[in-house]
Amino acid sequence: MLICRSPERIASDKLPIFTTPTRTRTTMTQDSRFAAMPDANGYFGPYGGQLVPPHLKQAMDDINLAYEEIRQREDFQQELAALFADYVGRPSPIFHARRLSEQLGGAQIHLKREDLNHTGAHKINHCLGEALLAKFMGKQKVIAETGAGQHGVALATACALVGIPCEIHMGQVDIEKEHPNVTKMKILGCKLVPVIRGAATLKEAVDSAFEEYLKDPRNYLYAIGSVVGPHPFPKMVRDFQSIIGTEARAQFLAKHGRLPDQVVACVGGGSNAMGMFTAFLEDAAVELVGIEPAGESLDKPGRHSATLSKGKPGELHGMACYVLEDAEGNPSPVHSIASGLDYPGVGPQHSYLKDLGRVNYQTATDQQCLDAFMTLSRVEGIIPALESAHAVAWAIRAAPTLPQDTHILVNLSGRGDKDADYVARLLGL
């Protein structure tokens, strides 16, 4: 167990960046289902892998070998730990939302404040890792997609820091919706590529970015924005993001002498959720809850993005995972009020955890998300990202049904600066 003088401030350089925290008497014994994921071929049970052409498989294998070597290097570890502490501002605190909890009259709601990170979301965690990896590998350009723009801003920030050119592909619909983040990316010096094909949202941005990467995989690094895509990206992004849960577990134990009863996070691709869940997978008493976007309704195909709730096993973007498909077997149109969640697939580890029953995947509608966005803003003075507001919505829904000595820990994955004008227009504010 990690011990510190202050439960809210744990030195980042004391936290293991790539490992789960030491098991305590509050946990279950080692569970082989969670001990080593993925396997050597990049599979989480039947999900994941490298479903790509041979030449691209070689590029993925090269990235995996470089990552496994570089992640062990002391200079890489030290530089990343220093940046987490002095650049990102880690550890992020846990805040007890007392007024919200009192108003709801049930469980205690706590927020892991990833919204306080530099750039305003959890995305900076893996973007710094990927940018540093690109630097250590001698890459000449980093390419990525973005939905809500948080990954784009974070990667543009990290690339500016390490001095590597950055190219971000973004759907035209999201560009118009997320103007503040678009402006930030341009200020940070990245090349922004608008994507107008198809629905012009996140899936199309992924397609476009991947095409650019394939032009020169030797000199480019594709910095995937979530725990998705071909191996090793689901593993790599998870590893960099696992600092969220590692911190949170230690902080909660230090402050309360126990673990939370529920740990909750929104799920699109699934990076913030895997970052939070990984440290708690072997804690049998902790219920893990992932919240997908129900959009306008689960009964309206194409108007939600609840992949794990309504999809089925399939293939997308070089991986086997749950997929939302149309009648012809093509990826279905998707929708969410939160641009970072409107993706027809999901991370392969999430797909596996669903099948195992280890994570309880639920949904929140656009309206529930909006209500939670405004409630947290008005009651606690915290404006959440619309993505994060899905997790807050579940907590608001669940808390009144639970005893007052129950503790819900929500990963507040990002702040709502990017969404404020959009929400104001929707609500006529």
Residues recognised as catalytic: 123, 145, 413
- Residues in contact with 67: Cβ distance below 8 Å, sequence separation at least 6, in sequence order: 133, 232, 236
Structure tokens at 132: 């540093």
Q: Which amino acid is at 198?
A: G
For 269, phi then psi, to 5°, come to: -70, -40
Which of 233, 235, 238 has the alpha carbon at shortest distance from 317?
233
Q: Are 168 and 190 in contact (CB under 8 A)?
A: yes
Q: What is the DSSP code (8-state) at residue 375?
A: H
Q: Quick one: CA dihedral 13, 121, 168, 364, positive or negative?
A: positive
Structure tokens at 243: 């600092």
Question: Where do we find the tokens 């893996």?
Answer: 126
Q: Residue 85: enclosing H or E segment and its boundaries?
A: none
Structure tokens at 147: 């939905």
DSSP string, 280-343: GTT-TTSEEEEEEEEET-TTSTTS---HHHH-EEEEETTEEEEE-B-TTSSBPP---SSGGG--
For residue 203, the Cα-to-chain-centroid distance in whole angstroms is 16
Burial 283-292 (b: 16+ CB within 10 A, else e): beebbbbbbb
- Residues in contact with 260: Cβ distance below 8 Å, sequence separation at least 6, in sequence order: 110, 252, 286, 407, 408, 409
Q: For residue 279, what are the CA distances in angstroms to 243, 244, 264, 282, 319?
A: 9, 9, 13, 8, 24
* Cα distance between residue 70 and residue 219, in whole Å: 17
